[in-house]
Structure 1
Amino acid sequence: MTNKNPTTRQDGVVQPQGAVRDEIAAFVSKVGKLARPNAAGDGRLLFAMDATMSRQPTWDMAVSLQAGMFEAIPKDAHLQVQLLYFRGLGECRASKWVADASALARLMSGIACQGGNTQIGRVLAHARDEHQRRRINAMVYVGDAIEEDVDALCAKAGELGLLGLPIFVFQEGRDARVEAAFREFARLTKGAYARFDNSAPGQLAELLRAVAAYASGGSAHLRLQQNGQAKALLAQIEGR
């Protein structure tokens, strides 16, 4: 179990800018190898966040980036998004599935961090149940710690992998045990892992937008994006 302490951060060592770029490039490459979402209906993206107290020091920056991922999505993208977050003493809430990006951004900005343990198991179980009701094209998870049994979480992630739901896992901080677990979640679901680092907010914002565009309609919508991460993702998908 990895313990969190709001006064002692795990990310005391600043990651070199080049290392962040390398991780993002690897993440984009991995995303580009995923199957295209079903074009017959709206794309669906589940966005899950750890809102416990250890994320407070960088929370405003993180929420800004997370909300900004929808800004570049064209109005005809047909992307539905659900926000899921946990915090406090057993609080784990999910929004309705919405197509209004501005409404979702407002909801994100209204969430405040509260002390409590991680509830990743509940997040994965919710994703499984929602996916079984109607397909989810991609799931994004942003967090910095794990306070649950990792093997049990891997079993749940494996279920999502069998169901065809990839997880894009973003880690804030540099806890090595958390990184190993997050990378395993990504591997089991045929998703991808990247570090959520405030030393490269612009690149991460572009990457989040690229993931949202991909979930909304595959390469057709990525082609409409002008940022560098989207172009790199499109190049991977089309094999150029």
Structure 2
Amino acid sequence: MSEKNPTRRGDSIAPAGKVRSDVADFVRKVGQLARPNAGEDGRLLFAMDATMSRQPTWDMAVSLQAGMFEAIPKDAALQVQLIYFRGLGECRASKWVVDAKALGRMMSTIACQGGNTQIGRVLNHARDEHRQRRIHALVYVGDAIEENVDALCAKAGELGLMGLPLFVFQEGRDPRVEAAFKEFARLSKGAYARFNSGAPQQLADLLKAVAAYASGGRAQLKLQPSGAARALLTQIEGR
């Protein structure tokens, strides 16, 4: 059965303490993952819902994405591919890039448009790309589900069997969306966290945490300045 009544901007925001707990738990789970083939360049697929309600968060992500590249080891590279959906059936993926400016330029040319979610197409694309060459992490940022959740769970489970973890960042607090997003993360052996759109540093640190994992596994995550978990907690407590 498809999910309706998606969470959109303007819905109530989770209490700061709850968000802080979710984010800290997410970073802890990322740190527990052991990425294979740590000697090769990291590959991160960055997926975003670009339907109309997402424009403010999209604009925020454009300004924050460069931080992902700051999290990688100096002797390694992080390859990032952007995939987004919007409008009436549009779902597009960029080329793979290793340059923050190139990714920023691509994102800055995209305007959000009204439409339904296409998470299934994102997961299918991730599966197909991973079969060609390993992807170390898939990040998805969104606030709603308007698709068959059971079908999406099956796709997330397939990614888990392939060794591609899904890191789901939820904006808003629709409990049905949260339950589904957490299940996607569990089935793919990834992790979940919620962020507040009014606190951009939360999303920035989440993106850095996954970039660190994708490029160097748990060891690189631990080498982040002040520690990823401590940085997240410091930023949230200060708001």
TM-score, structure 1 normalization: 0.87
* Identity over aligned pairs, percent: 77
**Conserved 8 A contact 2:81-2:96:** yes
Q: 1:166 deviation in Å?
A: 0.4
Q: Distance in 2 between matches of 1:160 and 1:90?
A: 23
- Deviations along 1:148-188, one digit per CA (max 9) or x if unpaired, are 11111111111101111100001111111111111110000
Cα distance, 1:108 vs. partner? 1.5
Do structure 1's residue 50 and structure 2's residue 49 form an aligned pair?
Answer: yes
2:219 is the alignment partner of 1:226: no
CA distance in 2, matches of 1:232, 1:33: 18
Q: Equivalent residue for 2:83?
A: 84
2-side partners of 1:120 and 1:13: how far apart? 23
Structure 2 Cα separation of the partners of residues 66 and 2 of structure 1 = 30
User: Which shifted more, 149-158 or 9-18?
Assistant: 9-18
Deviations 1:184-226 (A, max 9, x none): 1000001000113124322331221121011012244335421
In the TM superposition, what whole-angstrom CA distance separates every residue of 1:21-57 from its partner, at most 9, and x where no partner exists?
A: 1111000111111112412321111111110012134
Match of 2:150 in 1: 151
| Residue number in structure 2 paired with 1:126 | 125
Q: Structure 1 residue 135 and structure 2 residue 134: aligned?
A: yes
Measure, in 2, the Cα distance between the counterparts of 1:190 and 1:71.
Answer: 25
SS at match of 2:185: helix
**CA distance in structure 1 between the partners assigned to 2:170 and 2:56 by the alignment:** 15
Q: Which amino acid aligns with 1:99?
A: V
Q: Is the 8 A contact 1:77 1:213 kept in 2?
A: no
Q: How many angstroms apart in 2 are the aligned matches of 1:58 and 1:221?
A: 27
Aligned length: 231
Contact 2:46–2:81 (Cα < 8 Å) also in 1: yes
Give ranges in structure 2 of 5+ residues lacking alignment: 233-239
Change beyond 3 A, Cα 1:67–1:92: farther
Moved more, 99-108 or 55-64: 55-64
| Runs of 4+ residues deviating >6 angstroms | none
Q: Does 1:185 align with 2:184?
A: yes
Give the letter aligned to residue 4 of structure 2. Answer: N
Q: 2:39 aligns to what?
A: 40
Aligned residue in 2 for 1:65: 64
How has the CA–CA distance of structure 1 residues 77 and 11 changed in structure 2, closer, same or farther, with 3 Å as cutoff? farther
Q: TM-score, normalised to structure 2's length?
A: 0.88
Assess, with a 3 A threshold, how the Cα gap between structure 1 residues 70 and 150 changes in structure 2: closer, same or farther.
same
SS at match of 2:69: coil
Distance 1:230 1:217, change over 3 A: farther
SS in 1 for 2:153: helix
Identify unmatched segments of 5+ residues in structure 1: 234-240
Alpha-carbon separation, structure 2, partners of 1:15 and 1:219: 29
C-alpha distance in structure 2 between counterparts of 1:97 and 1:87, whole Å: 20
Q: Which residue of 2 aligns with 1:175?
A: 174
